[in-house]
Amino acid sequence: AQKITQTQPGMFVQEKEAVTLDCTYDTSDQSYGLFWYKQPSSGEMIFLIYQGSYDEQNATEGRYSLNFQKARKSANLVISASQLGDSAMYFCAMSLRRGSNYKLTFGKGTLLTVNP
Amino acid sequence: DAMVIQNPRYQVTQFGKPVTLSCSQTLNHNVMYWYQQKSSQAPKLLFHYYDKDFNNEADTPDNFQSRRPNTSFCFLDIRSPGLGDAAMYLCATSRAPGADTQYFGPGTRLTVL
């Protein structure tokens, strides 16, 4: 079965430091997409970064980078120079094709707290 | 700004009283999704529309229905809400199915009394 695993229910980081949020996935498909979303306490899911399974370069978006290790099936999110506003729930997700449809499957999330 | 809008942000309904949640988008995306997210859980896909084609998830209860009258709007109808249907309901859109990025609205938090 295809699934996403986030092993860190909660993480703490000091402001201005970097933090890595772990994500591993399990699929036998060759073509898939990996996403990270941020969900503040307000509830909105904010898209952060995307990595395609055929992309050879790690994706980067500002302070966010995705450490993609295909052989290990991991897609860790690295946040550099953490800010207080980064405190939120972070979800890793994978998009897979199922017949004529596609489905985005989420991990259980990691709650990140940035301390001043 | 182009965006995904959900109304209302907070909805209170009574047990068994039908309720409709609304989603609109200015992104002109072809695909619209509805997710249910219960407290401290990951979002769970209920169904999606690819243009006018409706795609229901196998485990979505019959109590949940959806309508997409045009490209911009999509509605979630809960015919007889139960206490277990209290949750955050998230609408999302994407240009196409597949690995295309989904953009989410702010959500509607449903309370069932």
Q: Would you call A108 and B41 a contact, using CB atoms and an 8 Å cutoff?
A: yes
When mean pLDDT is compared across A81-90, B51-60, B81-90, the lowest value belongs to: B51-60
Dihedral through CA B21, CA B26, CA B28, CA B33, nearest 10?
A: -30
Token reading at A28: 């036998």
**Residue in A44, A47, A52 nearest the CB of B106:** A44
Q: Would you call B98 and A91 a contact, using CB atoms and an 8 Å cutoff?
A: no
Write phi, then psi, for B84 (nearest 5 degrees): -75, -5
Q: Would you call B104 and A44 a contact, using CB atoms and an 8 Å cutoff?
A: yes
pLDDT class of A2 with cuts at 50, 70, 90: low
Measured between alpha carbons, how far is B112 from A88 in angstroms, rounded to an integer?
26
| pLDDT at residue number A18 | 98
Q: At residue A71, does pLDDT exceed 90? A: yes
**Residue in B42, B98, B104 nearest the CB of A95:** B98
What percent of chain A is predicted at pLDDT more than 90?
Answer: 79
pLDDT class of B40 with cuts at 50, 70, 90: confident
| pLDDT at residue number A1 | 60
Q: What is the CA radius of gyration of chain B?
A: 13
Give the number of beta-carbon pairs within 8 Å between A and B.
54
Q: CB B72: neighbour CB atoms within 10 A?
A: 16
Measured between alpha carbons, how far is A48 from B103 in angstroms, rounded to an integer?
10
Type of residue at A110: T
Check if the beta carbon of residue B32 is closer than 8 Å to that of residue B25.
yes
Angle at A89 between CA A83 and CA A94, to 5 degrees: 115
Please give the residue of chain B at the shortest CA–CA distance from A108: B42
Alpha carbon of B41: minimum distance to chain A alpha carbons (Å): 6
Q: Would you call A101 and B97 a contact, using CB atoms and an 8 Å cutoff?
A: yes
Q: Would you call B97 and A50 a contact, using CB atoms and an 8 Å cutoff?
A: no
Buried b / exposed e over B80-95, threshold 16 CB at 10 Å, is ebeeebbbbbbbbbbe
Q: At residue A51, does pLDDT exceed 90? A: yes
Q: What is the mean pLDDT of residues A49-53?
A: 94
Q: What is the mean pLDDT of residues A77-82?
A: 97
Instruction: Give the best residue of B46, B100, B102 to mutate against chain A (max A CB count within 10 A).
Output: B102
